[in-house]
Amino acid sequence: MQLHRVGVAASHSWAGVVVFIAALTWVVVGVSVGFSRAWQAGLMCTTSMVTVVMLFALQHLQARDESATQRKLDEILRSLPGADNRLIAVEERSDEELAVLAVMNREDRTA
């Protein structure tokens, strides 16, 4: 739940402004203290940690959106009378089952 909040907060337009202000502040303070090795190491550690957290937040949001899209597509398949119900929740099937369905779909397109 917290990771979802991080992703939502990072997707707002003001998040870019906050990052810009933080970077500008980092540069101004760095100029005033002389950009020591410790200062540079701190910047690298901070950016690495933020990058990893944002990677997980983005992956979480993408997985959540994909799951919601799949549920919506499943509902559309259930509601269509001529739809192939074997395709409902097909993303949860094994690779072998997906291969069989792919062959069947190719055959349907060429027939």
Residue that is written with structure tokens 């072998």 in the block: 96
What is the Cα–Cα distance from 85 to 96, expressed in whole angstroms?
18
Instruction: Give per-residue pLDDT as tens, 42-99.
Output: 888 988 998 898 888 888 888 888 989 999 988 998 898 888 788 888 888 888 988 8
Q: What's the pLDDT score for residue 1? A: 59
Contact between 4 and 65 under an 8 Å Cβ cutoff? The reply is no
Check residues 25 and 1 and name the one with the higher pLDDT.
25
Residues 85 and 77 sit within 8 Å (Cβ to Cβ): yes
**Residue 64 neighbours by CB under 8 Å, 6+ apart:** 4
| pLDDT value of position 79 | 92
